[in-house]
């Protein structure tokens, strides 16, 4: 794909070479994301960060990624603080906000809304999640994390064995990740969920048509016994018609240290798009895993900044200029990376 000036709306835009290009640029961003260097390559550029659905990691990491490239961030959070609450259309909002910004990231609870917004925007738009549909930057950072974790074991993404566990019906992160895995060879995916929360049939069929080996199961322990990655997801309660319906499934598939030790291979990587639900009735990924060195959830969040920096650099066509605008970091970075 031609990245410069393009919208990033769906994983379906990407070929394998495009993914590898993003990852190559993300690798270049590591000194800046880890505060060993700083760059002002986007000095004067403005990101419109428009989030009409709750978000912590995606919103802040997109903003941080833009700041780390030297740009400025303007944010809108929630319908109540926007003109949409007054009846303004997505078309009008897009026309106005794209006059104030050089690039826009948008999250919206309605499927297809970000694409509708992008069609009217005068600047590139990146999809920060549209309902239960897609979350392309999350899928890219998840796959980048998988690549990094497997590299430490002398492996690549090809021949991957992964179990996706939990709410696969409404979990947009797994929808996008499944589509992305179709680009790789000899991938084995086990989908673990209650039947009512299974992966949408069209995504399962897409994977199988692409040569992905797919197994569907409602049994956690046997499904995580021979995989490289366990990717856990929470119950997406905000997408159920009632709280009572969501509560029927909460806590059904709990991964804790005892379950991990009894069933997983010793180096099985644990991933989760976050937030994990740490309430007692849920705990799909228990706090007792926090000291497990194979818990990669916080490496995932760190990788999100790298990948989102790469997307901005590619879309705004500054990849070759980043180092030319670099200088040393002058503050204490606390050695947190």
Instruction: Please identify every residue annotated as catalytic.
Output: 57-58, 86, 107, 135
d(C-alpha 28, C-alpha 174), whole Å: 27
Contact between 204 and 216 (Cβ < 8 Å): yes
- Kind and range of the H or E element at 48? strand 46-51
DSSP per residue over 88-116, as a string?
Answer: --HHHHHHHHTTT-SEEEEEESSTTHHHH
Q: Give the residue from 127, 119, 49 showing the smallest Cα distance to 89.
A: 119
| Angle separating helix axes 136-151 and 297-315, nearest 10 degrees | 120
Task: For residue 165, give both structure tokens.
Answer: 């566990």
Question: Among candidates 173, 199, 167, which has minimal Cα distance to 282?
Answer: 167
């Amino acid at each position: 794909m031609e990245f410069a000036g393009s919208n990033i709306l769906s994983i379906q835009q990407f070929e394998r070479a495009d993914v590898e290009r993003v990852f190559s640029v993300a690798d270049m961003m590591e000194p800046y994301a880890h505060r060993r260097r700083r760059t002002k390559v986007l000095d004067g550029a403005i990101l419109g960060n428009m989030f009409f659905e709750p978000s912590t990691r995606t919103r802040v990491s997109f903003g941080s990624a833009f700041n780390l490239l030297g740009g400025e961030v303007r944010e809108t959070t929630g319908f109540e603080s926007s003109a949409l609450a007054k009846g303004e259309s997505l078309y009008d909002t897009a026309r106005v906000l794209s006059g104030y910004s050089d690039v826009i990231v948008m999250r919206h609870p309605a499927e297809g809304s970000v694409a509708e917004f992008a069609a009217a925007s005068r600047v590139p738009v990146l999809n920060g999640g549209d309902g239960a549909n897609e979350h392309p930057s999350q899928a890219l950072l998840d796959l980048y994390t998988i690549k990094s974790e497997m590299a430490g074991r002398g492996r690549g993404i090809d021949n991957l064995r992964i179990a996706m566990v939990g709410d696969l019906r409404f979990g947009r992160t797994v929808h996008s990740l499944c589509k992305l895995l179709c680009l790789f060879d000899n991938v084995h995916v086990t989908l673990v969920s209650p039947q009512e929360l299974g992966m949408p049939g069209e995504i399962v069929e897409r994977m199988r048509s692409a040569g992905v080996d797919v197994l569907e199961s409602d049994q956690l322990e046997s499904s995580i016994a021979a995989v490289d990655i366990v990717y856990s997801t929470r119950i997406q309660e905000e997408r159920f018609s009632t709280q009572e319906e969501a509560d029927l499934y909460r806590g059904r598939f709990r991964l804790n240290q005892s379950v991990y030790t009894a069933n997983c291979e010793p180096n099985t990587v644990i991933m989760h798009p976050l937030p994990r639900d740490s309430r007692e009735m849920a705990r799909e990924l228990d706090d007792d895993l926090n000291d497990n060195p194979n818990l990669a959830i916080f490496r995932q969040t760190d990788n999100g900044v790298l990948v989102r920096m790469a997307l901005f650099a590619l879309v705004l066509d500054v990849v070759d200029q980043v180092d030319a605008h670099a200088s040393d970091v002058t503050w204490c970075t606390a050695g947190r990376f």
